[in-house]
Chain A
Amino acid sequence: MGSFTQLVYLVPLFPLLGFLINGLGWKKIPKSAGGIIGSLAVLASLVISIGIFFEVRTAAAPVTITLFNFIQSGKLQIPFAFQVDALSSLFLLIITGIGFLIHVYSTSYMHEDKGMTKFFAYLNLFVFSMLLLVLGANYLIMFIGWEGVGLCSYLLIGFWFKNRDYTNAAKKAFIMNRIGDLGFLVGMLMILLNYGTLSYQEFFGTLKSGAVLVPTTTYNWIAICLFIGAMGKSAQIPLYTWLPDAMAGPTPVSALIHAATMVTAGVYMIARSNVLYDLAPMAQNLVAIIGVATALLAATIALYQNDIKKVLAYSTVSQLGFMFLALGVGAYTTGVFHVMTHAFFKALLFLGAGSVIHAMGGEQDITRMGGLSKKLPITFITFLIGVLAISGFPFTSGFISKDEILLAAYAHNPIYFWVATFTAVLTAVYMFRLLFLVFFGGFRGTEHQAHHLHESPWAITLPLIILAALSLIGGFVQIPALYGGHDFLNDFLAKAGIPAFSNESDPALHTKEYMMLGGTIIGLLIIFFATRKLFAVKQFGGEYKGFRKVLANKWYVDEIYDAIIVRPLDMFSDLLDRFAERMGIDGVVNGVGKTVRWGSDRIRLLQNGQVGFYIFVMVLGMVLLFALGFFWIKITI
């Protein structure tokens, strides 16, 4: 075991300390110090993570490090343990690397905010939870991180807590995640019931050896339950509607939590559980179908959104759909690869959007922007790179990872391929639209805004430049052999037992790859000009009509959920309160009390103080007794 690997507990510990310092001293620590503490904590984790990454490259097997016994009760043994392997070390790099850049960015972006120290405390707590999520050596530790990141997401979406809409969005995010979490919990309990363990090593070991025989249905159910958890966290149909609302949070939060890291937790979970999913074909198909459907649905919505962050949010949902498609067709490495490239370009796009919003004085409506390329040159260039990467411009990171997904989908089922390709076209369309509306044409904002347009300070532009570089070349770790690459990531993740989609052998796929390269270049050119024409500014004077209106209103999914779930449940609670509780159960209880009282009232009347009545009752009683005795004797005789 390498020396960095032994120190793995420090990786989550630093952000935890950062959280404690900033969290307990939020009143006394000055804003800038809070930012520095927060950033340094993540930087320290990043350094160790890099060390771990290089050690894992040469290490033979996954390393498990047990800190203490978390829950020990009879046969139930759950250690608080970390597993260091290729998969977790890759995620460590993504989380701490991008996390650090976003912390640096935030020191400038949040500088005007009074709650900046608190913001960094939350951000550190998030990084801590996310690191627990990927480091855990069993599902329960993953679950701890899983709910922890949900909490931080809740706190950060509702960071500006005075605004009721924002806190509503925060609540919605948490509750929708909880729905998924219930699935996760049931999945865990099923694993425990059937295998008596939650540890990855033991569970997957048993699965591989086939020592415990369970019917395929059980595999499917466990896998589906876990996937329900992933639907919530990674915003897939039907639990995706919280993510666009989550844009209420500060923009760095959107970049870190709602684009680069937290929302990819579901992908991590399924990649981690690949052994299980390979045994559960039905669940796997479900993952693929939900993934491709989500990708398409979200892309159509993104076409007509006018809020810069909403466009990016739907784009994130759509890209997550791509990742699940990859997982569902068995290309686990490809899914993880797309997590990585997406983390680069989507964090870049969000941070770029933040820079734009910053310059525009808080404006997020792209119909009121335009022509910013000259005023914000660095933001423009980097944003352009982000757009090219997400659209799949040849040899950017997005191109390499997306192509791999499409090829894997084609090998599995051509229908997936065509739907996904169509979605990729839509992706390019809405991203170019965004680019044109924000950076090209004339400025459509107010005079006041025009005066204050300025490029952001270095703390904002430097992360943009680094991320832009990564978006351009980050995919080179996985250049297909066809173009002279050597699939580094495939080999690396194979150490963690993650199977890759291999396109080395099949010549038919080679042809496809060339076709896609050509198709992409031609397609992007067409899209570039078509979008420029179709979505020119004058195209949307006023309201959208017809089908465009449906898309602009997000297919009315929120309204439908409201009508068929939220409101009926509210009504149901109200009915329970009024009828079942007050009139029903409590009515019965009070009724019993009243009956007793009423009965006593009646019986009390017997004691009316009239001697004659008493004598009458006495005689009546004697007669009755006599009669009873008489008959009793008769019967017994």
Chain B
Amino acid sequence: MILILLIVIPFLSGLISFALKGNGAKTMALLGSLATLAFAVAVSCHMYTGDTISFTKPWIPNLGTQFSLFSDGMSAMLCLLTAIVTSVVVISQWNKPVDRPSAFWGLMMLSQAGLMGVFLAYDALVFYIFWELALIPVYFLCSIWGGERRIPVTFKFFVYTFVGSLLMLAALIYLSIQTPGVNSFAWGNMVQAGRSLSPLNAHWVFWLLFIAFAIKMPVFPFHTWQPDTYEQSPTPVTIILSALMVKMGMFAVLRWLLPVVPDGVSYWANTVVIMSVTGIIYASFLAIVQTDLKRLIAYSSIAHMGLMCAAAFSNTQVGMHGIMVQMFNHGINITGMWLIASMIEERFGTRDMNRLGGMASTTPKLAIALVVIALANIALPLTNGFIGEFMLFNGLFQNPSNYHITFMVLAGLGVILGAVYTLNMVQRTAYGSAGEAAIVKDLSINEFIAITVVILFIVVLGIYPQPLLDLTSGVANMLVK
């Protein structure tokens, strides 16, 4: 029952927001996300002991689908992340006016409901529906409130991800037809069906699902929608996209691909690892030449996701566990990065790093926050970024392939390149002399709260990651064959 609340609360507060005006919508969004957060915390505490919760109600029996939800440590953690990030986003935007606030916040909350559903779904059709439900509000948010080039960019984003969704739908339907007995979309039955596929069928089912998820994460070379979309979306939406929606892709790989088509996975694992590792280096090099702050963060995120994806296909316990930790921490850190980027843009009127500089003198608090979050982004020890990255590298290194050292060292080059572009960013924005930007306000109270929450997570989970590890250790063990 508590699981359905995680979906219903944001859904209802979204609907109510549509009806409210002005600050009412924002208040509703805040209350809704805080309430969701409370329940997400409750669920996570329950999961902490390694327990699971499920919830099933008959829905469309003729299609073989039930409204079935399920939470283990991974789902709970991602729901928690969703609730935290949404709350932080609302708080950070508190003093910022937005056009048509009721529609804006209504859509934001609907998207949150969709995300929760994705992370909790235990029936393939329910999963698919929530997958789209999360996407559609985001599409509207980008295309209405986005930047100058929003129309073509959002169109491309939508078509690209939608094509992926359809591929996934085809694969899911095919699998449900293969289920033993009456056709069913239930996770357990899908797993059974997937395991009895003939080798040939396993190949194409694997690719249909993988491409759908790879577009979402995104994994090289399916990433080109991302920098444009991130750049053009309004910041709250960018945060939803990069902190949460990319996790949908990663989550889907772990829940709906690895266990479902194990033969396809083991056959293509090395190919995917090579793609991912290429992506790490490729995206890192591209991040180095970016001058737009948002595009730099976008490419940096692609590099990080590449490492997670490489570990996901390395079939090691420590790698899987690392993904769990890193999904959470990446969500927190990238939220911080975007908040900083938007604060910079609001204050200095540009995201072009060639025209920025001197924040350490003009807005020292913002500069300190930037440095701390940047350090988490390059996985400095005692920040949360390090734990996940260390475990991911560990997983990649224990990859059963003969090329495991090569994989690891190539992926490790990302560590060096990551330092290059991140420190370039710090140098060009925070250091140097201030120039003309004489009077600029430092952090406002709500911004300070939002950033502080992010920094607390960075530091606390960097020093004591064990809660996150304990929450997800059961899932990590299960994912390894």
Contacts and interface: CB of A to CB of B under 8 A. Distances in A.
Interface of A: 27, 68-76, 140, 143-144, 147-148, 151, 154, 158, 161-162, 164, 167-168, 171, 174-175, 178-179, 181-182, 185-186, 189-190, 192-193, 569-570, 572-574, 576-577, 580-581, 585-586, 589-590, 593
A193 B473 contact: no
B282 A576 contact: yes
Contacts of B182: none
B436 to A, nearest CB: 15
Contact of B431 (A144, A162, A572): A162
Given A71-B469, A72-B469, A162-B361, A147 B282 contact: no
Contacts of A182: 409, 412-413, 415-416
B423 A175 contact: yes
| Consensus secondary structure, chain A interface | helix
Given A171-B427, A189-B397, A74 B286 contact: no
B95 interface: no
A157 to B, nearest CB: 12
28 contacts: A70-B465, A70-B466, A71-B387, A71-B465, A73-B317, A73-B469, A73-B476, A74-B477, A75-B317, A76-B391, A76-B394, A140-B390, A143-B381, A158-B431, A161-B360, A162-B358, A162-B433, A171-B427, A178-B419, A182-B412, A185-B390, A190-B397, A573-B289, A574-B289, A576-B282, A585-B223, A586-B224, A593-B156
A76 B318 contact: yes
A73 B473 contact: yes
A74 B387 contact: no
B321 interface: yes
Contacts, number: 132
A231 to B, nearest CB: 14
Contacts of A569: 285, 288
A291 B286 CA distance: 37
A300 B40 CA distance: 64
Given A73-B318, A580-B282, A189 B289 contact: no
Given A147-B381, A167-B427, A74 B317 contact: yes
B408 interface: yes
Interface in B354-409: 358, 360-361, 364, 375, 380-382, 386-387, 390-391, 393-394, 397-398, 405, 408-409
Interface residues of B, number: 56
Contacts of B268: none
B432 A164 contact: yes
B160 interface: yes
Minimum-distance CB pairs A-B, first 4: A144-B381, A161-B431, A586-B224, A189-B397
Name the prevailing secondary structure of the B interface residues: helix
Contacts of B420: 175
Interface in B407-444: 408-409, 412-413, 415-416, 419-420, 423-424, 427, 430-433
Contacts of A193: 397-398
A171 B428 CA distance: 11
B356 to A, nearest CB: 13
B248 to A, nearest CB: 20
Contacts of B430: 161
Contacts of B364: 27
Contact of A71 (B160, B382, B390): B390
A174 B413 CA distance: 14
A14 B381 CA distance: 20
Nearest to A181: B415
A586 B218 CA distance: 14
B317 A178 contact: no
A589 B393 contact: no
A71 B465 CA distance: 7
B276 to A, nearest CB: 15
Given A161-B431, A572-B285, A581-B224, A175 B419 contact: yes
B374 to A, nearest CB: 11
Nearest to A589: B224
B476 A167 contact: no
Contacts of B59: none
A189 B160 contact: no
B204 interface: no
Contacts of B225: 589
Contacts of B42: none
Contacts of B464: 68
Q: Which of B223, B382, B424 has the most CB of A within 10 A?
A: B382
A589 B160 contact: yes
B215 to A, nearest CB: 10
A558 B93 CA distance: 47
Contacts of B375: 151
A186 B409 CA distance: 7
Interface string B171-197: 000000000000000000000000000
Nearest to B365: A27
Contacts of B349: none
Given A73-B317, A190-B397, A580-B282, 16 more contacts: A71-B469, A72-B469, A75-B317, A76-B318, A76-B394, A144-B381, A154-B423, A161-B360, A161-B430, A161-B432, A179-B416, A182-B412, A576-B282, A577-B285, A581-B286, A589-B160
B221 interface: yes
Given A71-B465, A576-B285, A577-B286, A192 B394 contact: yes
A91 to B, nearest CB: 19
A148 B463 CA distance: 13
Interface string B285-315: 1101110000000000000000000000000
Nearest to A588: B221
Nearest to A74: B317
B160 A185 contact: no
B393 A185 contact: yes
Interface string B442-481: 0000000000000000000000111001000100110000
A76 B364 CA distance: 40
B159 interface: yes
A151 B282 contact: no
A384 B34 CA distance: 67
Contacts of A190: 397
Nearest to B389: A185
Contact of A174 (B390, B394, B419, B431): B419
B431 A74 contact: no
Nearest to B409: A186
Given A178-B416, A186-B408, A573-B286, A171 B424 contact: yes
Nearest to B156: A593
A484 B380 CA distance: 49
A186 B412 contact: yes
A175 B416 contact: yes
B416 A74 contact: no
A569 to B, nearest CB: 8
A580 B382 CA distance: 36
A67 to B, nearest CB: 10
Interface string B91-105: 000000000000000
Nearest to B387: A71
A158 B371 CA distance: 13
Contacts of A185: 390, 393, 412, 415
B424 A573 contact: no
Contacts of A73: 317-318, 321-322, 391, 469, 473, 476
B477 to A, nearest CB: 7
A167 B432 contact: yes
A168 B430 CA distance: 13
Contacts of B288: 569-570, 573
Interface in B199-229: 221, 223-225
Contacts of B361: 162
Contacts of A179: 416
Contacts of B415: 178, 181-182, 185
Contact of A189 (B290, B394, B469): B394
B218 to A, nearest CB: 11
Nearest to A177: B419
Interface in B317-367: 317-318, 321-322, 358, 360-361, 364
